Structure 1
Amino acid sequence: MRPNALFFSVLLAAAAVHANDAAAQGRQACTNGHTRLPPTVNLRLDNDLFGGQDQGYSNGIQLTLVSPNLADYTDDPCIPRLARWVNRHLDALQPAQGFEQRNMIATFAQGIFTPTDFSRRDLIEDDRPYAAGLLMGLGYNARTGDYLQTTQLQFGIVGPSALGKQVQNAVHKALGDETFKGWDNQLHDEPVFRIVHERMHRYSAGDAHNGTWGWDAISHYGGSFGNLATYANTGAEVRFGLRLPDDFGSTPLRPAGENTAPTRHYNTGDRPFGAHLFLTSDVRWVLRDITLDGNTFRHSHSVDKRPFVGEVGYGIAVMRGRWKFALARYHRTREFDGQKQTPVFGSFTVSRAL
């Protein structure tokens, strides 16, 4: 689904214009002397356009909104009313007291999964099922110093109602590309959920964000529970470059990877140019993955998944002012018995502090 990048780039541009106007009005209305770290919006596109194959995990799109720090300004009128209302009703997900930063996260995502042979209309029993998921999530990042923990509740639907067939075919037909023929064999509609929790530690060699070259390393461990996916995972990321951001990773692909807690040390409007290279890894012990195991309560296509899956990614991130761009390429081990090729795909992330 290479053309998707074009479509979502247009959407991002329109959203950015609207966000600029809204943010400017908000800054004028909220000038009571406090120094506030701004909310952040992240748009991530995973696709073979950036390197890989149009199969397996064929395409993913995720929009993430990260609120300002709620630890000190929970009832601040400068924080949107909806965010304050949701914050008051999410006690079960909120971290314990004692964190210097607490940021609410809202995510909206779609993922599309297809087998290798796009031309076959019959059920390909030895390849992964056709599947699509449409999800939204709510949760919190909580930070103290170089420690961050994140908890997210994600819910949505897997199956025809997730619109994977329509999205993929519409884009392919518009550009004259071959469409995948086997969508009639996709998983049945099933409501899905999972709760994801991860903890991250950052190890830094000095203040590399202060205009110098440097490196840092971020370790993580955690897991997911639900009929969408159940697993335990651990891994790390290493970064080297100029003016490293004071955050916890650059375009990580994990569900808990949208860990962009607004940084403590820069004025986003005046942030000078910075860039760095990164290498990231993750290992998972997978007990359930609905896109491989099939529907939970109905008979459906499934494959024999492998319990242990590893992933390595590498890329570059560039920052200037309120913007951050990151381009990455990921290599994953085989996820099920009989998988013909190891998965390879790319990811492009655009972040902006509003």
Structure 2
Amino acid sequence: MLECFSARSHAKRGAAGFATCLALCLLIVAPARAEEAAARPATASTLILIEENDFFGGTDEHYTNGIKLSWVSGDLLRYAQDERLPDFVLPYLRLLPFVNEADQQYNVALSAGQNMYTPGDTGVTYSQPEDRPYAGFTYVALALHAKTARQLDSFETTLGIVGPSARAGETQNDYHTLMGFKRAKGWKNQVHDEPGLMLSWQRTLRAARVDIGRDVAWDLLPRFGATAGNVLTQASAGMETRFGLNLPWDFGTSLISPGGGVSAPADAEDPRLRRETSFGLHLFAGAEARAVARNIFLDGNTWEKSPSVPKKTFVADLSAGVGLVLGATKLTYTHVYRTEEFYGQKSPQMFGSVSLSVTF
């Protein structure tokens, strides 16, 4: 579902494609959950796949596509003694705060992903200095989640490459060619190669959860955090509120951002961990504000001159969506409204995020 067309010329095809994708996801997970499932322990692992694309918002520009795959381990009472963890992870984890405390549970998360950004006009080969530059970022990440039933702290280190070596242009154009869509012609003008490093922390709180009855509940999940690095340096604060049937006991809806992975079960009462197959449906809405000191996809390379635009320091997101729980599977769609990120951007951007998580 990589970025491949503008909504102006392919809106009907885009809507049909999303409906087909949603149906396929349900067909994949539903048969396996049709009969009563065996008990899933509270230490079950979770696999999370997130795909974000701006054709859901009717545009073909700027943040055009992102994909991220994460594995979140089961609960680890004392992570450094757990035989399931690879040896190379342990020295890194011993450096982090809030570890091996008696009242905490821990999860380790490994992720890989790619983001791509383009200007509004992808049909020209020349540079467009007043519009967002082409840029790609391919990365891997290692995170530690330290949690209680009411609080989740996520510490994440992200390593990657920005520029032609990220192969975002090839990813986009190979897909365009395969699907018979127009290729983006200006990738030779992208931000140059640069290794990327980010250190991130995010805290999410379960400020309230009210059980209304008949398995219906409402909750409120404020969050705040910070990221430092040559790719992105920012501070953020936001919240999410949810209402529905068999509401998951997790810390909300994951988007592609530092400190993600909050969709993994955080309590044995989560419907995905029940012995019997559960069905749940909920609505959610959220907001986030960010103060951005550096964004390499707008500011350009750190140590050399490259395509860039003057970024805005303050950016905000508004989001809303729907979530479905079926057995050990959670499927969500989030529609995101993002304010202008740089001076000269003609309008805010909207994009959609589809997240599929499976607990096993």
Q: Same fold (TM over 0.5)?
A: yes
Matched letter for residue 178 of structure 1: K
Match of 2:108 in 1: 104
Alignment partner for residue 340 of structure 2, among 334, 338, 342? 334
**Structure 1 residue 343, shift from structure 2 partner:** 1.1
* SS at structure 1 position matched to 2:93: coil
Distance 1:261 1:88 in 2: 24
Alignment partner for residue 62 of structure 1, among 52, 55, 68? 68
Alignment partner for residue 328 of structure 2, among 294, 318, 322? 322
Match of 2:222 in 1: 219
Distance 1:142 1:205 in 2: 20
**Structure 1 residue 207, shift from structure 2 partner:** 4.0
**Structure 1 residue 120, shift from structure 2 partner:** 1.5
**Structure 1 residue 256, shift from structure 2 partner:** 1.7
Q: TM-score, normalised by structure 2?
A: 0.85
Distance 2:130 2:63 in 1: 16
Alignment partner for residue 229 of structure 1, among 229, 232, 235? 232
Match of 1:131 in 2: 135
- The answer as to whether partners of 1:251 and 1:328 remain within 8 angstroms in 2 is no
Query: Percent same amino acid at aligned positions?
Result: 35
Distance 1:191 1:352 in 2: 32
RMSD: 2.6
* SS at structure 2 position matched to 1:68: coil
* SS at structure 2 position matched to 1:205: strand
Aligned residues: 331
**Structure 1 residue 73, shift from structure 2 partner:** 6.5
Distance 1:49 1:179 in 2: 16
Match of 2:11 in 1: none
| Aligned pairs for 1:140-151 within 5 A | 140-151=144-155
**Structure 1 residue 340, shift from structure 2 partner:** 1.5
Distance 2:283 2:103 in 1: 29
Q: Rate the CA distance shift 1:160–1:222 in 2: closer, same or farther, 3 A.
A: same
**Structure 1 residue 100, shift from structure 2 partner:** 2.7
- The answer as to whether partners of 2:253 and 2:262 remain within 8 angstroms in 1 is no
**Structure 1 residue 257, shift from structure 2 partner:** 2.8
Q: Rate the CA distance shift 1:36–1:217 in 2: closer, same or farther, 3 A.
A: closer
**Structure 1 residue 2, shift from structure 2 partner:** 4.2
Q: Rate the CA distance shift 1:166–1:157 in 2: closer, same or farther, 3 A.
A: same
Q: Rate the CA distance shift 1:179–1:87 in 2: closer, same or farther, 3 A.
A: same
Q: Deviations over 1:150-179 (max 9, x none)?
A: 110001100000001100000111111111
| Aligned pairs for 1:281-300 within 5 A | 281-300=287-306
Match of 1:23 in 2: none
**Structure 1 residue 243, shift from structure 2 partner:** 1.2
- The answer as to whether partners of 1:87 and 1:104 remain within 8 angstroms in 2 is no
| Aligned pairs for 1:172-191 within 5 A | 172-191=176-195
Distance 1:161 1:249 in 2: 33
Q: Rate the CA distance shift 1:3–1:115 in 2: closer, same or farther, 3 A.
A: closer
**Structure 1 residue 93, shift from structure 2 partner:** 3.0
Match of 2:94 in 1: 91
Match of 2:359 in 1: 353
**Structure 1 residue 260, shift from structure 2 partner:** 3.0
* SS at structure 1 position matched to 2:207: strand
Q: TM-score, normalised by structure 1?
A: 0.86
1:275 aligns with 2:278: no
* Structure 2, unpaired ranges of 5+: 6-13, 33-37
- The answer as to whether partners of 1:147 and 1:202 remain within 8 angstroms in 2 is yes
Matched letter for residue 70 of structure 1: L
Matched letter for residue 327 of structure 1: Y
Q: Rate the CA distance shift 1:304–1:89 in 2: closer, same or farther, 3 A.
A: closer
Mean Cα displacement is larger for which, 40-49 or 226-235?
A: 40-49
